[in-house]
């Protein structure tokens, strides 16, 4: 091709074009970096500036065909809209655009992150009463979480799969479909245990326990508490294990397994390092002792729990109902012994 320009002039032209491109790309990365920085001033205006920075970075990446970077920039903007501005509708709209572009693409990590964010935004809309549903369409939250769990499994991202299933189970439980929720929690628990994530496993078990308690399934609740107890023992015990054993003791009292209840509550005492927890354990020991006919022990435990007849004071960490029940137990013991003067003081 003929040109009047010298070879040097042609190279200089190419260098200028490349330099302009480099400057623009460098600016896009600077905007991306700024948008990702944590900000000490947690104001909506500040976060809006950062979101605009990320969106501008995305537009610059688009100019140079940098699809992956553009999608990440847009995802991060949608994430800030969700997390910092709590605008679930806007976040959902942004992430839907990202997912529509990702169909059949190789950017599966971005797709998984976007599906998780879409699910969170949908749940936010649902909780605020703003989610529009169609009777003829599948539940959008259920569909999004199932898709995220499936994709995570295909990618070998076991932790993310377990988290998606856990979130799905929590949503299902919120719809009062407890049997299905338990199945989903068990599936999530199996994956969490396989990857050795103790914290996730414990959280899932606690959610399973909440469903069993809601259903009034005491044997199932007791079994889950024992599983959590085993895990807490491996982690060294402490107040969390004491609270677990306290809950087990209460269940045993409820089912009149009083000897076992007192044994478990005695173990709880050995782990606690908190005066409020200690008072609660003493109170339950007082209840179990009273129901077992061990009145002297019951009186001693209730006094250790901070129950003070005629003082009008409620010990810290105890509910008014517990305090009233404890006073009732003391009054019953005095009455059964014929101690009318002490009964009147209570």
pLDDT in tens, 80-96: 999 999 999 999 999 99
pLDDT of residue 1: 40
Cα 141–144–149 angle (5° rounding)? 120
pLDDT of residue 339: 75
**Which two tokens mark 62?**
């688009």
CA distance to 30, 37, 79, per residue, from 41 (Å): 20, 12, 18
**Which two tokens mark 303?**
């006094």
Under the banding of pLDDT at 50, 70 and 90, the label for residue 3 is very low
Torsion of CA 287, 288, 293, 296, to 10 degrees: -60
In the predicted model, what is the mean pLDDT of residues 73-77?
97
Q: Which of 98, 105, 104, 102 is nearest to 121 (CA)?
A: 98
Task: Indicate if the pLDDT at residue 290 is higher than 80.
Answer: yes
Q: Round to whole Å and give the CA distance between 60 and 67.
A: 10
Q: Round to whole Å and give the CA distance between 62 and 249.
A: 62
Q: Which of 97, 81, 99 is nearest to 89 (CA)?
A: 81
Average pLDDT, the chain: 87
Q: Round to whole Å and give the CA distance between 194 and 212.
A: 24
Percent of the chain as helix, strand, coil, to the nearest 5:
75, 0, 25
Chain CA centroid to CA 50, Å: 27
CA distance to 90, 243, 261, 328, 342, per residue, from 267 (Å): 52, 11, 10, 26, 32
104 or 174: which leads in pLDDT: 174
Cβ–Cβ < 8 Å for 266, 254: no
**Environment class of 321 (CB within 10 Å of its CB; exposed 0-12, middle 13-18, buried 19+):** exposed
Q: Global pTM?
A: 0.77
In the predicted model, what is the mean pLDDT of residues 321-332?
83
- Summarize pLDDT for 249-275 with one digit per residue, the tens: 999 999 899 999 999 999 999 999 888
Alpha helices in 137-257 (DSSP H): 140-155, 158-174, 178-194, 198-215, 218-234, 239-254
Cβ–Cβ < 8 Å for 76, 36: yes
Number of H helices, E strands in the chain: 16, 0
Instruction: Scan for tokens 């529509």, then name that residue.
Output: 100
Cβ–Cβ < 8 Å for 209, 231: no
Task: Indicate if the pLDDT at residue 316 is higher than 60.
Answer: no
Q: Round to whole Å and give the CA distance between 329 and 335.
A: 10
Chain CA centroid to CA 20, Å: 47
**Which two tokens mark 128?**
């605020």
Of the candidate ranges 17-26, 111-120, 121-130, 274-283, the one whose mean pLDDT is the lowest: 17-26
Each as own residue / partner, the long-range contacts of residues 248-253 (CB below 8 Å, 24 or more positions apart, any chain) are 248/222, 249/281, 249/284, 249/288, 250/284, 251/218, 251/221, 251/222, 251/225, 252/222, 253/284, 253/287, 253/288, 253/291
């Amino acid at each position: 091709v003929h040109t009047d320009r010298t070879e040097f002039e042609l190279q200089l032209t190419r260098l200028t074009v490349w330099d302009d491109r480099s400057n623009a790309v460098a600016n896009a990365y600077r905007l991306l970096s700024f948008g990702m920085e944590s900000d000490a001033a947690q104001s909506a205006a500040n976060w809006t500036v950062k979101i605009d920075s990320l969106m501008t970075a995305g537009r610059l990446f688009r100019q140079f065909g940098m699809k992956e970077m553009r999608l990440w920039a847009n995802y991060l903007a949608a994430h800030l809209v969700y997390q910092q501005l709590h605008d679930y509708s806007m976040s959902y709209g942004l992430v839907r655009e990202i997912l529509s572009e990702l169909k059949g693409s190789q950017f599966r990590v971005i797709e998984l992150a976007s599906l998780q964010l879409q699910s969170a935004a949908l749940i936010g809309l649902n909780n605020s009463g703003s989610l529009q549903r169609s009777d003829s369409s599948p539940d959008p939250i259920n569909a999004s979480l199932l898709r995220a769990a499936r994709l995570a499994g295909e990618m070998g991202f076991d932790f993310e799969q377990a988290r998606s299933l856990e979130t799905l189970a929590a949503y299902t439980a919120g719809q009062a479909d407890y049997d299905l929720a338990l199945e989903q929690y068990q599936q999530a628990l199996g994956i969490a245990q396989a990857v050795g994530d103790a914290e996730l496993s414990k959280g899932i078990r606690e959610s399973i326990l909440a469903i069993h308690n809601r259903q009034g399934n005491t044997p199932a609740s007791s079994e889950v508490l024992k599983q959590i107890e085993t895990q807490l023992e491996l982690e060294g015990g402490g107040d969390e294990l004491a609270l677990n054993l306290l809950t087990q003791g209460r269940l045993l009292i409820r089912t009149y397994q009083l000897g076992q209840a007192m044994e478990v509550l005695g173990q709880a005492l050995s782990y606690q390092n908190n005066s409020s927890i200690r008072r609660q354990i003493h109170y339950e020991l007082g209840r179990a002792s009273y129901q077992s006919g061990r009145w002297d022990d019951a009186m001693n435990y209730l006094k250790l729990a901070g129950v003070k007849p005629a003082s009008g004071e409620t010990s810290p960490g105890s509910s008014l109902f517990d305090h009233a029940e404890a006073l009732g137990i003391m009054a019953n013991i005095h009455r059964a012994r014929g101690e009318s003067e002490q009964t009147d003081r209570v």
